Structure 1
Amino acid sequence: MTTTTAEATIADARERIDALDDRIIGLIQERMAVSTVVQETRIASGGRRVNLSREMEILGRYRDALGKPGTGLAMTLLELCRGRI
């Protein structure tokens, strides 16, 4: 592979990564909005802001799909969506 071809391949791949990152950020923002609805509804009906058993399910799903780093990713996502507990 020539240097020019490699540079073009890398540039194309980086564009795809940037587009994927934009989509991921949009999905996270959408998840945050949906989570707010869940929290507000739970609180309004007399429940707690956080459902720890549900969070454990989410942590397990990410760990199963992505391995140990998935747990950290899920923790960050949960913190973004519900704030620190």
Structure 2
Amino acid sequence: MLKIKWYVESLWALVWVLGINKNFKVDEPVGDDLIQMVPDVRKTQNFTTLKAKTLILNEKEIYQQADFYYRVHWYCVDTRLKGGKLQ
């Protein structure tokens, strides 16, 4: 089950990078509207609508967000390994 969660979170990040999802924040869960943002491949929907909505963010913005998430993740892991509590 854990793998499914990471797939969903990865897809959430991808639609942010593509400029479709404007609400990608560390303290908020994956939005309930994610399913409407991507084509349903089981129904063989094409990607024309997705391509039309796509506006890839610039590299600096992507890098800064990725760096921030890695730092938050490392803080959580480091705190857990040291037996501390998250603040």
Same fold (TM over 0.5): no
Q: What is the TM-score when the length of structure 2 is the normalising length?
A: 0.31
Which structure carries more helix by proportion?
Answer: 1
- Compare CA radii of gyration and give the structure with the larger one: 1
Q: What is the TM-score when the length of structure 1 is the normalising length?
A: 0.31
